[in-house]
Structure 1
Amino acid sequence: METQLAKKDFDATAETVLANAMVILSYLLAALPPATSRGSPSGDRVAEAANVSFMDRLWQAELGHKPLGERIADAVMRALFHDGFTVDGSDVEDKEPDSASPVVPALIWQEGVGPEGSHQPKNDLQENRVVVLQLLVTLLSGGAPTAPILQETGEEDAPSIDVRLSRLVILDVRPLAYLADPSRTVPFRAELLFSLLSVSLGYDPHGFGVPYGGYFAGAKQEAFAHVCLQALGLLLQDVRDATESRGDLSISSSLVARKPQELLVSRKSIPEEGHEGDRIQHAFREILSNISSAREVEFMVDGVITLLGTVSKEKGSYLPSSMRLPPFLPELLILVFHLTSCRKFVAGACAEDIVGLIEGVLLAASQAPEHVCETTLSLIEAAILLNITSYREVCAELDEDYEGNVPESIPDFEGSVADLVAMAALAQASEFLNKSKASTVHDSIVQMSFATVVNVSTFADGLCMEVSSRLFSLFERCAKAVQLKRSRQGVANHLPMLLEVFDNALQYRYTSNTNLAYGLMTRQAIFRDLVSLVPQVPIAAELEQENENAREQNRQWQEAVEAHLLPIAGLLEVTVPVLEAEVEKHEISNSEEAKELLPRCILGLMPPPHAFQMRHLRRCAATHIACEHILAASLGDGPYSPLWEVEEESTPNASGERTKESKKTRERSSSRARSTSRSRGGVSSAPSKVSGGGTPNGSGHEMEGSPA
């Protein structure tokens, strides 16, 4: 590779040699033993140890020489922008970036993101780019996609899910650490990120905009966008997100509350990415967060909304199967998760179509392919909703009526976009609440879901009846746990945020929240019980466990509950007797008529409005591992899946005969059938033969499609 890249006269023979060398090296790296789960056979653990030993040798520095791993990474980055191989740089005088011009616009594969000036051919060199990206992906992922912990597990119990999702599946992080380290000199980092974003978000899934157009758009371009998204996802990972929290899947310490009133001077809704205290910078994340021009932001927003919008268009198509869903929706959601940390992107989405973005995220998350764990995808969905509603600008745009499609998990409702977000969050909370006591992952999803409703509640101009009913149902479940167990452990731990939702709605949106206000007044007995029970909860907990940390947590929980419980209980003590007297006086038996008797104003009946809070999620172990598992599973089922296909050794069958079977990394017949039914369009992991010269299509090697 280094010899061919150093040649001044790069001809067809050099192209063939370089491509074949990269293919062979890809297979060598892809053949590494996978990460093993706890309780795996000793043979698997020995194989994993051999993998670690081999990777240690790749990154072992020798006297006077760079480690082999760094040489591979440097060669990959140079090959991605090598004149005559992956780019046409004939018009570029100096392709190497310098301090004065760190980015060379002419080398970016496609116009969209990055400085203007790219003039690269769209498809002429695409096959070579696929080969180099294949080596980059295998270098970054190792044997991760074959990890047994990603196999289908059926109906898992909550503790098993935590065990499975607590393990990193990429064994060696040194390749990414080297490429993403801002202090290291790595060529073409910005060009690579801009190229991957431009190709993946510039893909048109609609073809020529006619029915069945997606089938004529070209499967090769779809597969190329797919591999670009997978490479993007891997490059934006950072294992320090997991190590800084010591692998703890709880998000409690990463859930940050901010008061917008206190941020007026800085005019920031949340801290900018990469500038929180002592957080270590990440080169690719830094480049992403610095994308700010109106042209680039508009391109990214339009691209994301267009790709996510395929689900809605597919559901609303007047011709059956006239729209083909892209196969890379999980990878796209990971990219959206990273983009929600970029203030410029969120501001651009507000200006363009924030409703379309939110609708697309909800619909895409509901279309989990069989090779992706639904729990991990739900966690990423919850993180996206929480982070995007942590911006005041977003919440202020959610009051318009919603008339689009809703996921099947959300019941039909009539309301605003804020109601849509609240319904989606409450649906997740309701689904995972029962397991939240036994599973840290499920508890994290519930926490994020309730925090999302808190963010929306202050701005929503009246929560619809369906949202109010779901809120009261969850509230009664959490409050009942306090009455029965006299402890804050379990679902009662989520009580403070539910009370905060009620308090926000009453203090800031009382006149438009008659459904919520009336529901609270019909539940006065629950609030009376809570007022008497909450002070006893910490006492009971202290008797159960002599733990100073537990006592402090109980004290904080009690203070959080009482901060929102007492104002609501005080309001009910004043208004409910008057309401009951009026209802009895007018002999009203209809709830709608009773709502007409509610006080027109509660000014003076509650304390001065509290300073409302908006929460966002810092990057943490839970989101890092979820992204890693989704990416690993997607690699094993995506365009590069042939890299990880293995052939089992001969084994005797029931009749004593020895048979051979070809085994995919994930044995799911339905998933395989779906994957083969959608053509991967020629993105193959290897050339069909090694040749000594050029091929008729101008490439130095021949490529064939993935086996059907």
Structure 2
Amino acid sequence: MGTGASKVAFRDVLAQLKNEDIATNDAAFWSKLWKTETNPHDVFEVISPTAVRKLKVARPGNVEALLRMAVSHLEKVVDDPDPFVLKSAMTAVSVLTRVLPFILEAYTDPETGEVDPALHSMFWSAEEEPPSTAATATRDGAGAGAGTGEQQQQQQQQQQQPDARVALGSAMVSATMRLLFTRQLTVDVYSSCESVDADADNPLEIHDPRALWSGGLDVGRKARIQRSRELEANRIEVMRLLLVLMCEPLFQRNVGFDPTASRFAEEVCKADAPFAAELFFSLLSVIATYDPVGWGVPYAGSFTTDLPARQLEMSAQLLIVLLDHGKPPLPVVTSSAGPDGESPDQQTAVREDPPTPGDVGYNVFRNLVLHGLKDEEDFELVYTGLSRLLNTLHRSRNTYMPGAATEVYCYQEVLVLLWKLLEENPVFMQYVLKNCDINEILVPVCYLLVENRKDVSKGGLIHICTFVLLKLSGERAFGVAINKACSVRLPTDLPLFYGSHLDLLILTVHKLLVAGSDRLSTLYHCFLTVLCNVSPYAKGLSLIASVKLLSLFELFTSPGNLYASEANQTYVSLLLEMFSNIIQYQYVGNAHLVYAIVRRQEAFESLYELDLPAAVAAASKFARSGAAAAQKVRAAAAAAEAAAAEAAAEAGNGEAAHAIGLKAGPEEKGERVTASQAVLRQSPGPSQAQTASSRGQGSPQAEEARAPSGAAGDEALIPLRFRPTQEWLDTVRSEVPFNTIIRLLRNLAPQVDDMCQEANGLDENTMVEFVSSTTMVGLLPVPHPIVIRKYHPNQHTAIWFTAFMWGVVFVRNQDLPMFDGQKIRLFTVTSGGTQ
């Protein structure tokens, strides 16, 4: 049957389902439906969201019958994988994948949070059935042997009572997970492996290594697994179905979001879920062993199928969704200060005990990350694979022949997976920091930050990159490792430099702060915290990195930033703490930075000697300059509006709105993107929820530039937020660490001035050599304790990561759109025409 004819036949069968009541015992109809040759594209084209919703209202019995018979058909295929019915199994998979999202979107009321009783009953109410026909699914598909004595008596008593049939939701999950490891459908029948002595009752152990999709991890290191295009295509579709089954969070609001509320996700992640260990290691192996380079020949990717890449993308999406369910690993705060007056930032968080099997929020896949992923060989393979995928992005764009290298597009999913592994498995994190080259992660993260800093649709990507850096910077090994020389030249607009990976990090942060989007203002504290954490280990900053740090100090101490918000002095505090760390612990190797500080002696001392009249005068001067700029902007805006109105009058009323809207800013355009993309307005970012609300920090990046960005009134155009008070000034003096810098300037600056006067001017190299040969021992204060601000998970970050993760899944599945963006409540989807 041709493709067109099969599509028509499939449409005719579905029309019968729409117009007639179909019973579950109508074997002829269901046989005809499943045996109709079709493909996922045809199924998605024929079955529309509107049709599913109408059928759910007009003939709810047919919807339930469709789901039950599809699951029943899958169970038959799993129990007896007959080659003649395997194709029909994929038809059932495609139908379920298409229909379920439009049923689950109404499972929970987004306003009240109440569960639809009819849907709950359909999915989770088990029907009683005689034991002779009851179907129970076990891990290996075989029933347990009869016991003796008391066990036989218990079995006889149970057989005298009707058994409860497995609920539809449970059966659907079980059939889907077992389908992922069905011979000749998703697993090669000829795959072989040496025998493995595994505990059959341990859900963390792989029981059949031949079922793994890819070798490399755990017992799969011994496996000889054959690749097949047909198997990969089938896995992709079944993984898509499992992803759909866990989509309930998409239809919950982020306010009051409960990560343990999804019944389907609970069923997938329970301790005795079928093939949980095999699924975890298969997904992780596919990701870790994927080779984007392939033959190593330019344009080699043009001659190979895209199925491995699609399997990689779907594996990454499914794995991060599996790891997201359940209670997040939140710390337990026991006190506000440590022993001996230790700063809370230096304390090690004490975490709650993870849920055990049977507890609410238990996740077998999280348990596998913590206890199943434990060998150093596995750590090495996983880290190498993830870093290879992340580095593919900038390497593919940094070639002499455009498009010669294959590019991996699932870098956001890989970053989320890296975050999950670092967060869930401390042993893995310590191994990576001590035994691997962490710069293989730092380089692509810096590249992604710089390249996407102005892209509104990549705000979530900037957040995840920032929090990976924040997580790593809290470890001493990271600060030491990034002093390694950097020879990579990224295809970005970063200045050319010769130095270490720490220099690359500094230049990246400088670019984000100075030439980034105002939308990143809630992350400024995180950017500076990362630099402050690694500053005690900065062995030798390059000249250009030193100059960039001092330019940041001048930027944040300018009136336009210092007086823009009452709490903006915290940025200055972090910068001065950074300088103090380098001076106290790494003075010898940082002559460029020390000399740059000496050259800006006046800026440091003016801030140190700042009094209330001077602060009020500077703030008032800034306000007057802002008002003048606002007046110019209003005049320019009025002239532009008049010109646009005149042009519109000449062009006709029909084009007036279009003519005026051409110059609309991002806010007025509603963050419009191309039709194939979507801008995800997620829940407030973790940094916004944690920092902006408590500190009230405004954008420190050239507040003067904010005035010309709109013409909405005087308050919006004049960035003065507060009037300096004595209380604020006392806070600045107590929180900003001036002592080390001032002592340095009082002792070193006179020596530099004397040398310049005696020699009637010296070149900069001579002065740097003098600074490096001068000792400050005995002149500086006693070295202060190193304060490391570590990332601690909390409820806000957990919700944000869930929203970001599902946003990525939604955007990355637009080829066959699984979800209706208008029904999503976890975040807001706005799509528009081309720009």
Deviation for aligned residue 1:304:
1.7
Instruction: List aligned pairs for 1:84-163, cutoff 5 A.
Output: 84-88=184-188, 97-99=200-202, 102-104=205-207, 105-116=209-220, 117-123=222-228, 124-142=230-248, 144=250
Does 2:652 correspond to 1:478? no
Which amino acid counterpart does residue 517 of structure 1 have in structure 2? V
The separation in 1 between residues aligned to 2:379 and 2:275, in whole angstroms, is 21
> Which residue is equivalent to 2:268?
179
CA offsets 1:1-53 (integer angstroms, 9 cap, x no match): 25643664331354344433332221122225869xxxxxxxx9989989977
Kindly indicate whether the alpha-carbon contact (under 8 Å) linking 1:257 and 1:615 is maintained by their aligned counterparts in 2: no
Deviation for aligned residue 1:503:
1.0
CA offsets 1:471-506 (integer angstroms, 9 cap, x no match): 2222223333599649742x3232222122101100
Kindly indicate whether the alpha-carbon contact (under 8 Å) linking 1:399 and 1:460 is maintained by their aligned counterparts in 2: yes
> Which residue is equivalent to 1:74?
174
Kindly indicate whether the alpha-carbon contact (under 8 Å) linking 2:466 and 2:526 is maintained by their aligned counterparts in 1: yes
The separation in 1 between residues aligned to 2:454 and 2:562, in whole angstroms, is 40
Kindly indicate whether the alpha-carbon contact (under 8 Å) linking 1:365 and 1:381 is maintained by their aligned counterparts in 2: yes
RMSD: 4.7
Aligned to 1:404, which of 467, 485, 488? 488
CA offsets 1:120-177 (integer angstroms, 9 cap, x no match): 43225223222221111112225949x9xxxxxxxxxxxxxxxx99897999644334
Which stretches in structure 1 are left out of the alignment for 5+ residues? 36-43, 148-163, 246-252, 263-268, 540-547, 649-663, 671-708
Kindly indicate whether the alpha-carbon contact (under 8 Å) linking 1:110 and 1:199 is maintained by their aligned counterparts in 2: yes
Cα 1:534–1:111 change in 2 (3 A) is farther
Cα 1:54–1:46 change in 2 (3 A) is farther
Cα 1:478–1:583 change in 2 (3 A) is same
Aligned to 1:587, which of 735, 749, 760? 760
Does 2:75 correspond to 1:5? yes
The separation in 2 between residues aligned to 1:112 and 1:89, in whole angstroms, is 19
Instruction: List aligned pairs for 1:545-564, cutoff 5 A.
Output: 561-562=735-736, 564=737
Deviation for aligned residue 1:210:
1.0
| TM-score, normalised by the number of residues in structure 2 | 0.61
The separation in 1 between residues aligned to 2:75 and 2:123, in whole angstroms, is 22
Does 2:96 correspond to 1:30? no
Does 2:424 correspond to 1:321? no
Kindly indicate whether the alpha-carbon contact (under 8 Å) linking 1:422 and 1:467 is maintained by their aligned counterparts in 2: yes
User: Larger deviation: 342-351 or 228-237?
Assistant: 342-351
The separation in 2 between residues aligned to 1:60 and 1:431, in whole angstroms, is 53
CA offsets 1:378-409 (integer angstroms, 9 cap, x no match): 11111112222333223222223211122525
Cα 1:509–1:46 change in 2 (3 A) is closer
The separation in 2 between residues aligned to 1:29 and 1:487, in whole angstroms, is 49
Deviation for aligned residue 1:119:
4.3
Deviation for aligned residue 1:186:
2.1
The separation in 1 between residues aligned to 2:728 and 2:277, in whole angstroms, is 48
Which amino acid counterpart does residue 757 of structure 2 have in structure 1? E
> Which residue is equivalent to 1:360?
444
What secondary structure does 1:236 align onto? Answer: helix
Which amino acid counterpart does residue 23 of structure 1 have in structure 2? S
Cα 1:623–1:556 change in 2 (3 A) is farther
Aligned to 1:638, which of 809, 812, 828? 812
The separation in 2 between residues aligned to 1:666 and 1:641, in whole angstroms, is 15
Cα 1:665–1:532 change in 2 (3 A) is closer
CA offsets 1:272-313 (integer angstroms, 9 cap, x no match): 9xx724565643233224423232122212212222222333
Which amino acid counterpart does residue 398 of structure 1 have in structure 2? I
Which amino acid counterpart does residue 235 of structure 2 have in structure 1? R
What secondary structure does 2:297 align onto? Answer: coil
> Which residue is equivalent to 1:686?
none
What secondary structure does 2:790 align onto? Answer: strand
Aligned to 1:218, which of 281, 305, 321? 305
Aligned to 1:525, which of 578, 581, 602? 602
Which amino acid counterpart does residue 778 of structure 2 have in structure 1? G
Cα 1:218–1:566 change in 2 (3 A) is same
Cα 1:166–1:443 change in 2 (3 A) is farther
> Which residue is equivalent to 2:573?
496
Cα 1:515–1:361 change in 2 (3 A) is same
CA offsets 1:214-262 (integer angstroms, 9 cap, x no match): 22232111111111111122122247559x79xxxxxxx9xx9999xx9
The separation in 2 between residues aligned to 1:271 and 1:286, in whole angstroms, is 22
Cα 1:596–1:302 change in 2 (3 A) is closer
> Which residue is equivalent to 1:150?
none
> Which residue is equivalent to 2:294?
207
Cα 1:34–1:407 change in 2 (3 A) is farther
Aligned to 1:617, which of 771, 780, 791? 791
Does 2:424 correspond to 1:347? no
Deviation for aligned residue 1:199:
1.0
| TM-score, normalised by the number of residues in structure 1 | 0.71
What secondary structure does 1:642 align onto? Answer: coil
The separation in 1 between residues aligned to 2:72 and 2:741, in whole angstroms, is 71
> Which residue is equivalent to 1:445?
523
> Which residue is equivalent to 1:154?
none
Kindly indicate whether the alpha-carbon contact (under 8 Å) linking 2:260 and 2:326 is maintained by their aligned counterparts in 1: no
What secondary structure does 1:617 align onto? Answer: coil
Does 2:538 correspond to 1:460? yes
The separation in 1 between residues aligned to 2:765 and 2:759, in whole angstroms, is 13
Which amino acid counterpart does residue 571 of structure 1 have in structure 2? L
Kindly indicate whether the alpha-carbon contact (under 8 Å) linking 1:202 and 1:303 is maintained by their aligned counterparts in 2: yes
CA offsets 1:312-370 (integer angstroms, 9 cap, x no match): 33233233321131221221222222233344356346534333332233335556699
User: Larger deviation: 223-232 or 629-638?
Assistant: 629-638
Name the % identity: 22
Which amino acid counterpart does residue 552 of structure 2 have in structure 1? L
Cα 1:484–1:448 change in 2 (3 A) is closer
Q: Which has the larger radius of gyration?
A: 2
> Which residue is equivalent to 1:542?
none
Deviation for aligned residue 1:578:
3.4
Relative contact order, higher structure (CA 8 A, sep 6+): 1
Which stretches in structure 2 are left out of the alignment for 5+ residues? 1-70, 128-163, 356-361, 617-693, 697-724, 823-828
Aligned residues: 593
Kindly indicate whether the alpha-carbon contact (under 8 Å) linking 2:109 and 2:115 is maintained by their aligned counterparts in 1: no
User: Larger deviation: 44-53 or 498-507?
Assistant: 44-53
Kindly indicate whether the alpha-carbon contact (under 8 Å) linking 1:142 and 1:170 is maintained by their aligned counterparts in 2: no
Instruction: List aligned pairs for 1:243-282, cutoff 5 A.
Output: 276-277=351-352, 282=363
Kindly indicate whether the alpha-carbon contact (under 8 Å) linking 2:569 and 2:732 is maintained by their aligned counterparts in 1: no
The separation in 2 between residues aligned to 1:603 and 1:399, in whole angstroms, is 24
Kindly indicate whether the alpha-carbon contact (under 8 Å) linking 1:89 and 1:95 is maintained by their aligned counterparts in 2: no
Kindly indicate whether the alpha-carbon contact (under 8 Å) linking 1:418 and 1:460 is maintained by their aligned counterparts in 2: yes
The answer to which structure has the higher helix fraction is 2
Kindly indicate whether the alpha-carbon contact (under 8 Å) linking 1:588 and 1:594 is maintained by their aligned counterparts in 2: no
Deviation for aligned residue 1:411:
2.4
Does 2:509 correspond to 1:425? yes
Instruction: List aligned pairs for 1:13-24, cutoff 5 A.
Output: 13-24=84-95
> Which residue is equivalent to 1:286?
367
The separation in 1 between residues aligned to 2:544 and 2:337, in whole angstroms, is 27
The separation in 2 between residues aligned to 1:120 and 1:393, in whole angstroms, is 38
CA offsets 1:536-583 (integer angstroms, 9 cap, x no match): 9999xxxxxxxx9999x9899758734x32222233223323332332
What secondary structure does 2:486 align onto? Answer: coil
Cα 1:49–1:357 change in 2 (3 A) is closer
Cα 1:667–1:171 change in 2 (3 A) is farther
CA offsets 1:604-632 (integer angstroms, 9 cap, x no match): 11222122133332334565455444443
Kindly indicate whether the alpha-carbon contact (under 8 Å) linking 1:372 and 1:630 is maintained by their aligned counterparts in 2: no
